[in-house]
Structure 1
Amino acid sequence: MGEARGVTLRAQWLGQMLRDLREDKRLTLREAGEYLQRTGATISRFETGVYPIRRVDAAALLDLYGVEDPGRRDTLLQLAGELWHTGWWETYSKDAWSSTIDLAWLENRALTLRTFAGLVLPGLLQTRDYILSLFQAANSEMKEREIERAVELRLERQRVLVREEPVRLSAIIDEAALRRPIGGAQVMVGQLKRLREAAELSNVDIRVIPFSRGAHASPEGSFTLIGLEEPFSEIAHTESAGGAIYLERGDVDRLIDVYDRLQESSLSVEESAAFIVAMEKDLS
């Protein structure tokens, strides 16, 4: 299941910000390279994220580019440090797609997560048995150990909901995702119980869009909006058979509007909780 690590999202982010700063100063790659006693090609690799920049080199470039604001410097240097920092998610790097590792990193940085689940339930709210059933059905070529590592990674990601300063999760779930019996009736009973218990957390809101509401604003499928601390803007994450896609700026604005309209189509938090309880009783 794993792949070559390649360019990480965080390296691309920092590289783009350094490129913007250099271009604002009207400096060439060669001039920036000479300042670091490196080649222009090396600076280019830093800016594209092909080679993650070291914190000391990032600090030197910030000096060159005249970045004096303490908050901005700290944010960029912290990000530079994270390029080489080994978080818990990196222990799964040999077993998971790099885009999944990037997602785990983003979730740990996030202040808010707003997700729409159209086909299966949100990953951060899934039980072990539900996750296992999903991976077994979708990845027939995976070995048992690989599946177990994938399950463990998804369960580890869920810790952001119960950490000391938990992320705020708002989840809108299409009734179709609730009705599909992943793993069978017994697994679904446990999964619905998990949803009910998660909804009791002060940092988790769960809403359901019932079939009775008809068409909704996202027939294309599921997505997640990830809210980060400044200076980073909210970004969007979508999954497909071809891998993960991350969207920024204008594309995110469109999905924010879609999410707002989905919320208008959904039941209230209280009505959604009652809906899930009723389903659980029907299956028990």
Structure 2
Amino acid sequence: MAAIGQIIHFEDQQGERVAPRKGPTLRAQWLGKQLRELREAAKLTLREAGDHVQRDQAALSRWEQGLTPARVPDVLALLNLYGVDDPDVRDGLERLSRDIWQKGWWDDYAGETSGKVIDHAWLESRAETLRSFDVLVIPGLLQTAEYAEAVIRAADPEADPAYVARWVRFRMIRQQVLTREEPMRFAAILDEALLCRVVGGAPVMRTQLQHLVHLGARPNIAIRVLPFSAGAHASPRGPFMIFGMAVPYSDIAFTETRAGCIYVESDRVGNFAQAYDYLHKAALTPEESAALIAATADRMA
């Protein structure tokens, strides 16, 4: 399948401050793509599908492009028309269509930032697994509040204190995916340089490193360090994430560029998964990583 939206938004994943942008959300694009593929598999035209749900061809086209999200009754009617009997597929698409229209905690922030930041939080809330490789900043889901504040302030030195506090809160709420009743399984590979870059001063950094050791002891979190001794590695272009999604969705890979951020799925995720596997083999074990992180923290006392 093609990339979802190709370069679909401008976002500083670490600072998260951008001007709001209008346009189709990732959720709406995803639902539309699924509906289009099911219609094409059923060998029906837009007109034929539209007649079934009493909508014109243009309306169906907008749904499939993600420009206007389809409502739940229309989605269910289309699934019946397309002969979709698999309960996992039906439940997944119905849940997605409800998610688009229902308000989540992240929507309270939607008016202040790119909708794609909100989409990222939604993906985290729905992902069963997350694999990440980071080289510049410790990933947001593993940050302490003090470390997060230092990162956000560095990205926008002139930001109002209330703004900074609000986005630190946003990041802390996102972390609940790691402690919910059925927590996300998170496997993080951190370049050793992250341990040495003192963010927010030595006390803040020491506490952050100790926090990593604590998190790594949880059964659903594995933290590995890619040591300097590994030399050149499989991701010279930088960090990325792979979201493992439940049926009927394929995995999603996420990466940042200077021009914006990209989400890709299906076949193109394989390139990221292969790179992650190579990085995994080159990284220290979780036990070795915890020892290295703890030793680095001790040197910052």
TM-score scaled to structure 2, two decimals?
0.90
C-alpha distance in 1 between matches for 2:162 and 2:238: 30
Structure 1 residues 2 and 85: CA distance shift in structure 2, 3 A: farther
> Does the CA-based 8 Å contact 1:125-1:158 persist in structure 2?
yes
**CA shift in 2, pair 1:246/1:139, >3 Å:** same
Q: Which moved more, 1:255-264 or 1:18-27?
A: 18-27
Letter in 1 for 2:156: N
Within 5 Å, which residues of 2 pair with 1:191-270? 191-270=208-287
- For 1:140, the equivalent position in structure 2 comes to 157
Q: Which aligned pairs between 1:17-166 and structure 2 lie closer than 5 A?
A: 17-166=34-183
Shift of the alpha carbon at 1:95?
2.2
Aligned length: 284
Q: Secondary structure at the match of 1:93?
A: helix
Read off the aligned partner of 2:172 and give its amino acid letter: L
Does the CA contact (< 8 Å) of 1:67 and 1:73 recur in 2? yes
Q: Distance in 1 between matches of 2:177 and 2:171?
A: 11
Which stretch of the first structure deviates more once superposed, 4-13 or 193-202?
Answer: 4-13
Name the % identity. Answer: 49
Q: Aligned pair in 2 of structure 1 residues 5, 89: CA closer, same or farther (>3 Å)?
A: farther
What SS does the aligned partner of 1:229 have? coil
Corresponding residue SS for 1:164 = coil
Q: CA deviation at 1:137?
A: 1.0
1:4-63 alpha-carbon deviations (Å, 9 max, x no partner): 342111111111111111112222222222222221111011001110110011111112
TM superposition outliers: structure 1 runs of 4+ over 6 Å:
none
CA RMSD of aligned residues (A): 1.4
Q: What's the counterpart of residue 186 of structure 1?
A: 203
Unaligned runs of 5+ in 2: 1-17
Which amino acid in the other structure matches residue 260 of structure 2? G
Q: Is the 8 A contact 2:88 2:247 kept in 1?
A: no
SS at match of 2:24: coil
In the aligned structure 1, how far is the partner of 2:81 from the partner of 2:255? 37
Tell me the amino acid that sits aligned with residue 120 of structure 2.
L
Compare relative contact order (CA 8 Å, sep 6+) and give the higher one, 1 or 2: 2
Counterparts of 1:160-179 in structure 2 under 5 Å?
A: 160-179=177-196
Structure 1 runs not aligned, ≥5 long: none
In structure 1, how many angstroms separate the alpha carbons of the residues matched to 2:250 and 2:228? 33
Counterpart-to-counterpart distance in 1, 2:198 and 2:151: 11
Cα distance in 2 between the residues matched to 1:208 and 1:134 = 20
Mark the CA change 1:217 to 1:259 in structure 2 (over 3 Å): closer, same or farther. same
The separation in 2 between residues aligned to 1:142 and 1:37, in whole angstroms, is 49
Is contact 1:2–1:94 with CA below 8 Å preserved after alignment?
Answer: no
Question: 1:172/1:223 Cα in 2 relative to 1: closer, same or farther (>3 Å)?
Answer: same
